Structure 1
Amino acid sequence: MQLRNKSAAPNTNPEIDRLLKIEQRYTAFVNNSSDGVWCFETDHPLPIALPEAKIIRNILDKGILVDCNLAFAKMHQHNSVNDLIGTPLHSFISSSEPQTRMILKNFIRGGFRLNNIEYRHPSKTGPERVYILNLYGILENDCLVQAWGIQRDITNQYRAQEKLKKSENRYRNIFDYAFDAILIESLDGQIFAVNKRATEMLGYSQAEFLNMTIHQLIPEDFKAKLPNLTDRLKAEGVVVFQAQNRHKNGHLIDVEICTKLLSEEEHNLAQVFVRDISQQKFFQEQIQSLSAQIEQFSRISADIITITDEKELFQRISNAIVEISDFSRVLFYTFKDTPPYRVILGHVGLSAAALSRISKADAPREKYLTLFEKGRRLGNQSCYIPHTMKHLVGQYAVDYGKREYSAQTGGWHREDNLLVAMKNKSGELIGMISLDDSKSGLRPNDETVRPLELFANHISQILHLKQLEEERHKIEEQFQQSEKLRALGEMAGGVAHDFNNVLSAILGRAQLLKRDVNDPEMIHGLEIIEKAAMDGAATVRRIQEFTRLRKDQDFNVISINEIIRDSIKYTQTRWKSDADERGIKYSIKTDFQTEPLVLANGSEMREVFTNIILNAIEAMPAGGLITCQTVTMNETVHVIIRDTGCGMDSRTLKRIFDPFFTTKGVKGTGLGLSVSFGIIHRHNGTIDISSEPGEGTTVSISLPRYSQKQPRVQEESRKRPRTITTGLSAKILVVDDEEDPRILLKDILEMYQYQVLTAESGAAALEILEKEPDIRIIFSDLGMPDMSGWELSKAIKSRFPESIVVFITGWGTQLNQKRLSECGVEHVIAKPFQVDQIKNLVLDYVHLTGRG
């Protein structure tokens, strides 16, 4: 690069020699610089008084590059300055680019000076390059005669900054969407940053947090511990403790706090993780409360409650009643809401046959309340039923006494009966003590029943104690099961999403390839791949069932009796055809009340009952009886399915709903009852299983009864597809930050002659929509950096309300329908999807006048 073209003739003037040496040094410096240096001139000086647009046009049309260094040449993919010197500016700078004109405008308006302007230039060998430019104009006689430019390639620095921004955004997403509240504070308590969970948990906005100190969240009685806490934090680096935080509305929240110093460089800042443990505390306090009640009642019934075997305990109670009373036969039981309505706990003087008959007879609580109304009341909670009123009792519900008595006034008759009620603290009837065969032969009176009533209250306390124990165990089991499923659900949610994405690529590509091949063997191989992908999708759905991740509710009003009949019919091959071939006899009996209606998904409920029936058949290898019964009580429909199979021990029973637990060896998946558990809970119901080895198994299911106030169908607020009329081909936009699924969907749509545009981000999608306003269908992924599918859908609906947004996502049925509606999402296709799903969906929305 020569700053001036001088003659090579020697100079004898010392001043000229000095200037030439300076020029040579500057020339060497410029030529060796890594910054690009260049100079342009026009064919004649440009008066600076000319209009701005005219100066720009002259520069772009008539500007010539008259000088540059090698660094500048290489920036424009040339290895020699001679390749560029003498070329018009417009040959390597686009005159139509808005960026070029903006730079020249700023150059003119800055007095023909321009400093540190950033611009982008396309590269022939790769992505566009980013430069910083300084431009300096040479003015003579109010005319621009030359302009010198110095530019530096900052592409690598720019890309590093972009990468840092993306990393920062990822951190921000983790920070904002963490399950725990996170606060950044100084050691003196000033809050500098909080995540979204903190605002949800404590009720303050982010702006309010930033004007607060951590001390304002802590109750007064805990503040005294803070100085010690600060010292510990400085010494240990991390401190974990439990405390309470004050919500904006004033109430206190039990929390676990983990405080950690950020780094040695930022030793005055701490990161605080706050976890809401209110529910955990609630369970712990409830368990402690129940334990305290159990301890209290244990002291009252110290004599009997020391017996650990329940059967022995109730037998001792029965023997004690006989010992302290005037009666030699006793039967005591509690009531339940489902047939046969009584649970017999203890007895004395009854034969096995009589006990079996009584235990199967329906005798609901209401029947005994009627007996108390019509019988002869004694004491506070007793009733004498003379043999003259025995028609009120029912012959199957009782076994009459065996002793014969002589007829006498005020005497006891063999068919007389005394009932002593057992009540809870609220005075509700919970059970009954039934007595006969008087030892004295006399009828009871108020005085003779008093000891029995005292003992009945004592038994009620024991039963209450047992109930508290059961509730405590149930709460602990529910808590453990909830924690287990929560942890499994968090893991399974991500696995299901990622697995669905993988399956979508496999299934989509296999189905596309099938359309392009004719070789039968190749087609057969692709069909195997397709089936494997569909089987994998079914496995993901089962995972979503037992972890209760699904949120879609395709519910209709159905008859639970009809669903059970369907399940019996579907399993007929197992319990009838196959069994007959093997010489085994199975019977299935139904005992249905008036058609009980529930709001449910019929297919899912059939799966539940089919699982239960098949399990019952497996438990009866030599044949047996299955009884299916339905009962409606108040607002609940009860389904009871019993079998006469081998039963289960308590150890097996505890694990019966655990995913992948099976007693069938390699034949079982261990998912049947886990899936059933998820289905029933998704229907706001409960499922319970009771069993004893050798005594068969009873499955009890409770579901909310359908009320006329409920809508007959609760669907995903489906809308009738809106028709779009286009020309010969519909224009569709596909948005996904991952290239493979984006290209797959593009290939599928283009196969059906649709015009398809793609975008790798939400921002890019909005830019395309601004330029292509005739796009009406947008397929979008959900989880994308910078702008999620939710945010993109909202933005599209606000700017282009007629557009149709369809989510294609691996999260599938886990999406909340209310949020989908709020964000304007018309449809959701769960991955993995089939090619025909895409085709049919587009055809639903697009009405074509030609081929599409």
Structure 2
Amino acid sequence: MPGPSRMAPETTTTDELSLLSARVAEFEAEKEAWHERAGSSFEADIRELAEQMRAVLWISSVNNQVKFYVGRAYERIWGRSRDELAVNPSDWLDAIHPDDRARVEDARPSQVTGKYDVEFRVLHPDGSIRWVRDRAFPLTNARGEVDRIAGIAEDITERKRAQEVLETVVAGVSAKTGEAFLESLITHIADVLACDWVMICLPTGEGLMLRTVACCQEGRIVDELVYDSRQAPCEHALGGAFVFCSGDVQSRYPEDTDLVEMGIESYIGAPLKSPSGEVMAILVALKRGPLDDPGLARSLFNLFSDRAAAELARTRAEEALRRTNEHLEARVAERTADLETTNALLKTSEERYRVFIEQSSDGFWCIEGDGPIRVGRLGDDAARAVLDSLRIVECNDVLASRIGQASARDVLGLPISDVPTVWQGEAERHLLELLRGKRRTAEFETLVTDENGRHRVFQNKIVGILEGLELVRVWGTQIELTDLREEEQARRNIEIQNEAIIQSALDGIAILDMQGNFLEVNAAYTDATGYSRVELLQMNVADLNAEDQVGDIRHHLELTRRDGSWRSESTTRRKDGSLFEVEISARYRDLDGGRVFCFVRDVSVRMRAEARERQHLAELAHVDRLRTAGELASSFAHELNQPLAAIVSYTKGCERRMRARGDADSEELHALEQAAAQAERAGATIRSIRNFVSKRDQQKLPCSMNQVIQEAIQLVRNEAKQKGVVIQLELTESDDGVLGDVIQIEQVVLNLARNSFEAMAETDAADRVVTIRSRGSGSGMVEVAVCDTGPGVPPDQAQEVFEPFFTTKSDGMGMGLSISSSIIEAHGGRLWLSPRPGRGACFQFSIPAYSAERPHAH
């Protein structure tokens, strides 16, 4: 690529000017060398890119006498070597078809302006022709002067060939419609693609059977064929797929033996779809051999399958319209014949129509203009003018009553725009289309509000009666849909109400299919389970049941189907994993394969209450047994007291006799003394038990708190010894007195002590210690504390332990502390639990102190 020209330094007579010029020349030379090095690298990249292009990139002098560069694609597109072009720069022009060469030469001057864009044919040495599109644009040097021309020449032979084929086919079918169009279309496709068979096939309605509506076999139209498309490529095309096989159809569809028998190697099948997407037919081409030009074949089929589909749709619409007209005309003829039989006096068709429409419960009307109307040639303004001239010439009393008129006579002659049930914006649009020839029938709905404010809905159908190309009248029918629509709205309202009832129900409601999948749930069910509605509708009811009940689900669903209903209690799992008891009432309905409607009630609260009631009854029974035991103990104490008294009396009598005989130091006397002491002790114990269990009114007397504690401990020492418990007494030396019922205070101390024994059951035997201490509080109260070394009471149960029936023991009543608290409060004191974290429990109670000086001190 030529670089910028170098400037030689000027020669002057002065040394200074010569030196300056030499420096400038040196600088310019260095700059030019740098640009040449950079340009050389860039030019190499561009050249490599140009060599890879499918189009020809070329660069030449302005006069095209010198070709600086021509891309490699030149040899493929021109069919000549670049070496020949280097020798003869006009070789590319000589290869242009003689009919196009002058046009190309005339356009070459526009290369300098960048407007050169021409298409021409190139003759290859073998006589073949390629179409080329050549464009050019100028290249300027550093001074802004055009010194070269660059261009791109691309091969457009395939596009030209497709265009020529398309023009040929279009020219052959453009003037035809219907069956003639279809036959012309497939004949041209067969000719262009050199196919042996081209046909358009329709489903017969019997399985996958097809029949041809147009069939070209080896260049001629043949009669209708019927064939089975099962396991054939036509089956896939009929399913909506575009099937294209060039040379390999037998291997792709080996089950279709007809392809082998006919020697078919190539197949094209395109579905012909209606505007709604329905496959109406298929366009099929078959060839005994590979397709000559697969790309052209695919493009042609894609294009003309749409045109064939449009023609089929139009034909189908015309056929439907024809059948509709025939049906309407047949119905009119039938009604006319019936009316003629009924009334021989009706001699004109207008009178026959009158009887027919008056007997109908639907509205009938007919409109006419001032004369026949030539349809299809009216512009918008002309069509509206004709529309304004239309008048009601026929109607029945039903229609008249709908617009508030007494009879049909009051309506005849009115402009259609004065009939509100007929004249609506929708009606105007359809009538204008009818006047323009775009349709002959139309159906639409109109909405009218009557004088009572009721919205009335009418379905209208209009039919244009043509005589040739002239519209002579328009008949219309009007069916009232108001009651039907109101019933539909009422059903929707009921559905909305039912939905509201379901969603507002306090019980959970779930609808299941016969596999146990959730189909619908209400808000109460989602609240109870913790799952959202969206989550539940993706789940099975087995996902919510306890693990031991999962296998019962299908059995219960089948029971519900068999018996119609089912009721039971079950355990349901919430989203957080917790379980709760539910009562289920289910009913089966035979809808969509079976539906089970379940009403689910959370009964966990009720069942807990029932459990508490059963526990309470058991505890009451325990109380009753204790009362009975107390009565027995009192009876035993009474019966044993007298024998013990006799034993004491006899032993003391023996003591006196032995002393009288002088045996005061004998072992026998010592034994008798011990026997008398133990008998007295047994009697005291029995009296204590009798007093403890006996029913009696509260008797408050002055007593020593220390003595009460010691007497109570005497009753449980044997029990403490059996349980390995050491009892430590830390009693106040002042021995403060209280005013109280000794038996009841002993009962409190006994209960607290026994509770401590049981609390230390799991404690090491060496550590089981119960400490009972008493002291004066300094505020007029005597305090007693019973402390153990057991595990203690959890902080969250510190207040609950005093509630009635609260217990942590399987055989306990939970009444001991409650009764003890009541006893202490009746004495003017209180009972409480002192915290001792990690060191056991310590229960304390206080009672007002008593002294002779202050008998009523509190």
TMscore range, shorter length: 0.3 to 0.5
> Which structure is higher in RCO with an 8 Å CA cutoff and minimum separation 6?
1
Larger Rg belongs to: 2
TM-score by length of 1: 0.35
